[in-house]
Amino acid sequence: MAHARSVRDAAASQISSGKRITRLSDDPASAIDSLRARREIQRSQMYELQAQDAQGFLDNYDGIFTQFSDRLIRARDVALQGQNTGASGAEIRKALSDEISAIKTELLSLSNAKYAGKPMFAGTADPAKAYDDTTLAYQGDSGQYKRNIAPGVDLPVSVTGPEAFGSDGSGSQMFEVLDDLEAQILAGNEAGIASGILSLDVARERLESMRISVGVRTSTLEAIRTQRAVATETLTRQASAAEDADLAKSAIELSSAEVAYNATLSVAARIFQTSLVDFLR
């Protein structure tokens, strides 16, 4: 009778919980398979959290680089106007010079943008701003944030100011180039403006190279996330196959167990009744 009750209870438990395994002893081999799959799913979830953070970094850089590129194209157009109107009046030259100054101020603000509370272009340093508002000097370091997005894959997710805008004193550092163009346009120096445009092209090409680099990192990240999603789905199916009960089979087993259990009770009752009569005699 105890066996019949055990079979009945096990079948009922499977139907109510939907799980074939609730204890390791139910099916040790399948339970171990399930535990392995669940452990891999948990690891995958940890990598996914890192990947989501990496995505946030890279998306922010891509958006801000688009703004930089647009403003530097405008600065080049203004510089060309200044070169072609070098002999024009001081008012025109000043208006063009002032626009370069405004672009420089706008780009300075963008270069000091923050993500997760820290300057995006300051490396791993944590100054108030990546670039000083007055001297335009870089205040960060050359460190780089990375995110572990898969086993053995540490993806760089940050960009330093010098990588994007050039090193201070290099001659093609973005702010230095804009400073020089502002002065050359105001002075009407066509040769100086032409030289400044060439330097501006170098600065913009460097920026575009970093933008492409960010795009490559984003593509790598997306590919790994897609692969992980497929792998996680497979692991989930494996765990489910090991754990989940076959409800139709469990229902049949429960019905059979109920019949057997009731029959056992009936036989036991008759035996007990007969024994009691014999005792009374």
Res 146: pLDDT: 95
DSSP secondary structure string for all residues of 150-201: ETTEEEE----HHHHH--TTSS--HHHHHHHHHHHHHHT-HHHHHHHHHHHH
Q: What is the pLDDT of residue 26?
A: 53
Please choose, from the candidates 211, 234, 229, 213, the residue with its C-alpha nearest in 3D space to the C-alpha of residue 52.
229
Residue 234's pLDDT is 77
* Nearest-5° Cα angle at 83, 78 to 84: 100
User: What are the sequence ranges of the domains in the chain?
Assistant: 42-239
- Position 123 scores a pLDDT of 96
Q: What is the CATH number of domain 42-239?
A: 1.20.1330.10
Q: Residue 260 and residue 275: Cα distance in Å, rounded?
A: 22
pLDDT recorded at residue 160: 97
β-strands 114-115, 153-156: how paired? unpaired
Angle (CA) 223-49-112 rounded to 5° is 90
Q: Give the number of other Cβ atoms within 10 Å of residue 254's Cβ.
A: 19
Is pTM beyond 0.75 here?
A: no
Where on the phi/psi map is residue 117: left (φ > 0), alpha (ψ -120 to 50), or beta?
left
Q: Looking at residue 170, what is its pLDDT?
A: 86
| pLDDT the model gives residue 280 | 46
**By three-state DSSP, how is residue 167 classified?**
coil
Q: What are residue 27's phi and psi, to 5 degrees? A: -165, 85
Beta strand 146-150 with 153-156 is antiparallel
SS3 category, 93: helix
- At 84 the pLDDT is 80
DSSP, res 235: H
pLDDT for position 248:
45
Distances (CA, A) of 201 to 69, 72, 209: 11, 9, 12
Block means of pLDDT (10 residues each) for the chain, 281 residues, are 45 48 54 67 88 95 95 95 74 93 96 94 96 94 94 95 93 94 92 95 95 96 91 73 50 48 51 50 51
Q: In this structure, what token pair is assigned to residue 80?
A: 């060309």
- Distance between CA atoms of 6 and 17, rounded to whole angstroms? 16
Q: What is the pLDDT of residue 240?
A: 65
**Nearest to 161, CA basis, from 205, 118, 108, 123:** 123
